Structure formats: structure tokens, C-alpha cells
Amino acid sequence: MTFVKGIWRILVAIKDGLVLLLLLLFFGLLYAALSFSPKPAASVSSGALLLDLKGTIVEQPAELDPTALLSGSGPQMKEYRLSDLVNALEAAKDDGKVKAVVLNLDGFMGGGQVALERVGKALDAVRAAKKPVFAFATIYSDDGYQLAAHASETWVDPLGGVAIMGRGGSSLYYKGLIDKLGINTHVYRVGTYKSFVEPFTRADQSPEAKQANQALADALWQDWQEEVAKARPDAKLAAYVSDPAAAAQAAGGNLAKAAENAGLVDKVGNQAAFGERVAKVAGDSPNARTGSFASIDLATYARARKPANDGQIGILTVAGEIVDGEAGPGTAAGDTISNLLYKALAEKDLKALVVRVDSPGGSVMASEKIRGAIMTAKSQGLPVVVSMGNVAASGGYWVSTPANLIFAEPDTITGSIGVFGILPSFEGTLAKMGITTDGVRTTPLSGQPDLAGGTTPEFDRIMQMGVEDIYGRFVGLVAEARRKSPQEIDAIAQGRVWDGGTARQIGLVDRFGGLEDAIAEAAKLAKIDPAKARAYRIEKEPDKFTQFLQSVLEREGDNQDHSRDMLARQALLQRQWAMQAISDVKALVNGGGIRADCLECRAYGAPRPASDADERGLLAMLAALWR
């Protein structure tokens, strides 16, 4: 007994010590978080505004998990809010302290054509204000070069080059794996072009999906070339992208020289030489590091110039996958977004509502919940204007139907008006292991859906009828919103994806324009002078503690090396896209309900940040399949 009491005292002492340690850590971090605040505008130094983009440009960055940040298992890429970049560049063009703008694109992973075009316009405005824009990268890929084309001086490392891949690429198809594992996928869908389910039911694209996807890729690729050619009219872009091997061979295999010969870059030089060039304009850096220059931190500058969130035009952001329930920014959770809007309608004196949509869709129920909240705003007399970003498809179009007016860009990806459901059952898998099922029923639906024993014909029929009914509702919503007949909408629906230019021609979009145009139009509809209209972003307030942790970790990560050569960079980019395979397989296993979703749309934005947990999940999945 004495021995047990001794052990117990030791355990209690350890417990008390751990509690004390955790309390000290908690209050220390709490103090640091409460003490953390953005630097005031006066602290911003003079020099070049440095856009060192190590990650992706998004409409709304995802909320970071403090636990993941502390454990080092958080996202491997940063996300930069599009509006923050635009606001910073617009402030820079009139700021006497900003002598130039510098784009360091070595770590840039993309952002979608619409977002990059908007940043490009902001860079053009800086140049129009007689301020130089410098760009540097070891390897320029499509998205990075779309930005660099707007620079007044574009540099490339002697060991690098310009690798323009164009639109398109391959996707993963799981039919062979599914058959090997004995999984039975029950698919319920409406829409000739609703190709989200094809990776689970086919080994390749259907002819209809390939036709639609080719048309979309061709339209986006044409627009990309036109924008770059307008930004760099003297570049021999068409010849370079049509036969890059010939361009490289003419330069003796030197990719950097090939890009210079084609007029795609202005200078070939390493980062030290580039820094010395910028220093002549922006001034010398306080530190003595070779190639450094006086630089203004983007995050600090953007925070100091962020507009006050006190306007009369509400901006509701629907960004990311549309999901049921609650979620943080970067994911369009039905309960979260609808509750935020209801709260704003109750507490703020809003005169109009702009819905900014950048989503490939997702859950039908969540899409309808968001649409219902928007309809409430409309029923209270608020004009509703939708502004589409990179993607506003499937569920993203569903939530757009209440709009008085829809703005999009020619490169916006929209449409995909279709519905599907997918449910796996594992009777074949279990049979391979010698496991079978049996039981009794009192109705045709008893025990359904039976994931172990399979579904009944009656269940499948009911599910298909349900999907068809929801598709009819979707078509009806669009028909009412666009003042067309359901038959006219059905002819352009069927799950087909359209580029923004075509969408305007067929009546799914009203006008071309960005978020600023939508805000101005909403102000006019509310009888407010557009010049006096101010925005109120209807969003969750950022967590100060998470902001503090992120700022600390970002400073530590600034000295990390990033993959720079062509093979390493492209491998990293493709690895980020491969992480999408995890969510695809999870969607199959979990059976995500009836969805208005667009698979092909996801490949035209930026890859989502992958965490260490995602990497481990992919490796574990591959190891399990190998065994």
C-alpha cells in the first residue's frame, strides 16, 4: 500500500507540474497575442515594395489551426488575399516612400487567371505612375509569367528560364483501383457533362467531357496569350510556346538565353545582380548582404493601408468548397456564411449586398442555405449584385441566382449546372476476404443504404429520382433568375462548364467586370454615389492569437530555401495538385451526399495548401494500397 501511495504522489506531482507548465505557456502566449498589433503606417520605411510571393493568391485565405502551427504540421504554402495585394499596389502608386515594386516569384505557386489579371492591372497602374516594377525568378511558369509580363524589367536567373505549359493536363481516374478493391460505386446524376463522377466510374474522360474541357482550356489559353501579348507586345510569344524545344536548341540549350532571345525577359542575371539593380532605384538595404536593397514588407504595408471595414455595401464572400455546417474562412460553410449574413443584416445599416463568389460548388444543402440567406437580404429591399472570381460553378452558380446583376470576367469559369450523388458499397471487397452479409427486411428500404451488402434497386431508383428533382429545382432557379424558360436553361446546363465570355453570350452572366465594378453598380442600385460607396466585409474576425503565431513563424520561414530549378519546382507544384487525390478518395469513401460540384473547375485555380498531415495521409494511403 505504501508503494502504491508513493507512485500516486509521483503521478500527482507530475500532473501538477504539467498543469503549471501549461498555464505558464498559456498566459505567456496570451500576453504575446494581446500585445500583438500591426505596425502603424509611420513605421513603414522607404524603398521598394517587395512582393515575395511564396505561395498562392486566393480570394479568401483559409483559417489556420494554432495547434498545427505550433506543431509544425500546418500548410506548406502561404496564401495571399487578392484584395490585400490590390490595395497595397494601389496605395504604392501614389506613395512617395515607395520607389519601386519588386516581384520575387521564385516561390510563387499560382492564383487563377482572373485573380492574376487583376493584380496585373494594379501593376500596370504602378507603372503608369512612373514607378518601375521589377520581376525576378529562376523559373517562370504560366501563372508567374502572367504577373512578370506586366513588369517594366523582367529578370531570369542564368540557370533558369521560362516554362510555359499552357492550359490542360491529366487527371486521376480510379476505376481500375475501384475494380481491383471490389468497391461498387452507385452513381446518381443528371447532366450529360457532369463529369465529377467519371473518375470513379471510368478509366478516362467521356467524349462529352473531353469536348467541353477542351473548349474551356482553349478559351482560357487564348485569353492568357492575349493578355501577355498586350503586356509585352514585342515578345515572340506564339513562336516560343508553339515550339519551345526549337527555341532552346537555337540558344544552345540555354533556357534563360532562349527566353531572352524571344523577348520574354529583359535581363539574364542572378539574384545578387538583380538586387544591385533594384538598389540603384530603391536605395541600399541596412544590412550588408550581397544583392539586398531597401525593401518594404508587404504584410506590414498591406495592414497599414487596409481600408476601414465600416461601409454601407455589404461584401459576402463565398470562397472555396461549399460544405455543410460550420467552417472557417477559405471554406464556404453553409451555416457559417448564412449566419454571418443574418448577423450583418440585423446589426448593420446595409444599403446593398455584393456576393463575391470564387467556388467550384459542393453540397446542395449548403448552397441552398447560403442562397436562402441572400434571398432574405433581397426581401429586405437590398439590391444584390454577384461578382464572380476565378470560379463560380455548380453550387457557386446556385448561390448566384438571387442576383439582380451578375458580373464576371472573360476568364471566369462558370455554369456546370448539374447535380450528382455518389455512394460506395463494399460487398465485393468483403467477398474477397470471405465475408458476406444476410438479414431480414420489413420494407424495400430496410437497412439502406447498406454499405456492406450493397443497395437495393428500389433505393437506387429513389435516389436517382431525388437527384433529378433537385436538378429540376436548380434549372428552375436559374430560369427564373435569368428570365428564360426551363427548356432554354436545360439546353445550356447538363453540367457543362463555360468560360466567362461564352457564359455572357448565352445569358448566364450580365456584364464583364471585377469586384470594384460590382460594388459601384450595387451603389447605383441603392441610389448611392459610387464615389462615396464603402465596403463592409461580412466575415469572421481574424483570431489575434493565430495571427501572432503566423507572423512569428513567417519570420522564421523567411530564411528557408525554396525549390528553384525547373524539375524541383514543377515536381513541387504537381505534388500540391496530387494532394487533391486525398480529398477525392475521401469523398468516395465518405459519400458526401447530393452535390452541385465541378471537378474540372478545380484545376484552373491555385493548388490548395498541403499540410504535413496531408502528406502523411497520401503516403499512408499509397502504402496501404501497395500492401
Judge contact between 599 and 199, C-beta under 8 A: yes
Q: Which residues contact 262 (CB under 8 A, 6 or more apart)?
A: 162, 235, 236, 237, 239, 240, 247
Q: Is 606 exposed, middle or buried (0-12, 13-18, 19+ CB in 10 A)?
A: buried
Distance CA 409, CA 401 (A): 17
Closest-CA residue to 58 (of 359, 439, 488, 264): 359
Q: Specify the pLDDT at position 89.
A: 98
Residue closest to 370 by CA, chosen among 349, 389, 392: 392
pLDDT of residue 592: 56
78 DSSP β-pair partners: 55
**What residues are paired with 421 via a beta bridge?**
188
Per-residue confidence (pLDDT) for residue 596, from 0 to 100: 86
Global pTM reads 0.86
Concatenating the DSSP letter of every residue in 212-237 gives: HHHHHHHHHHHHHHHHHHHHSTTS-H
The whole-angstrom separation of Cα 408 and Cα 400 is: 11
What's the Cα-to-Cα distance from 31 to each of 35, 88, 261, 305, 527, rounded to whole Å? 6, 30, 56, 26, 46
Quote the CA–CA distance of 399 and 357 in Å, as a whole number.
Answer: 8
Active site residues per annotation: 194, 394
Question: Pairing relation of β-strands 419-425 and 184-190?
Answer: antiparallel
**What per-residue confidence (pLDDT) applies to 170?**
78
Residues 116 and 147: their CA atoms lie apart, in Å, by 7
Counting as low any pLDDT under 50, the low residues of the chain are 31, 33-44, 556-561, 588, 591, 619, 622-627
pLDDT score at 395: 95
Contact indicator for 187, 201 with CB cutoff of 8 Å: yes
Q: Compute the C-alpha angle 406/409/413, nearest 5°.
A: 90
Report the pLDDT value the prediction gives residue 174, as an integer from 0 to 100: 82
Q: What are 537's three cell numbers? A: 466585409
Task: Read off the pLDDT of residues 179-191 as tens digits, 9 standing for 90 and up.
Answer: 898 888 888 988 7
d(CA 24, CA 304): 32
pLDDT digits (tens, 9 = 90+) for 591-621: 457 888 887 787 776 666 655 555 555 545 5
Structure confidence at residue 12 (pLDDT): 62
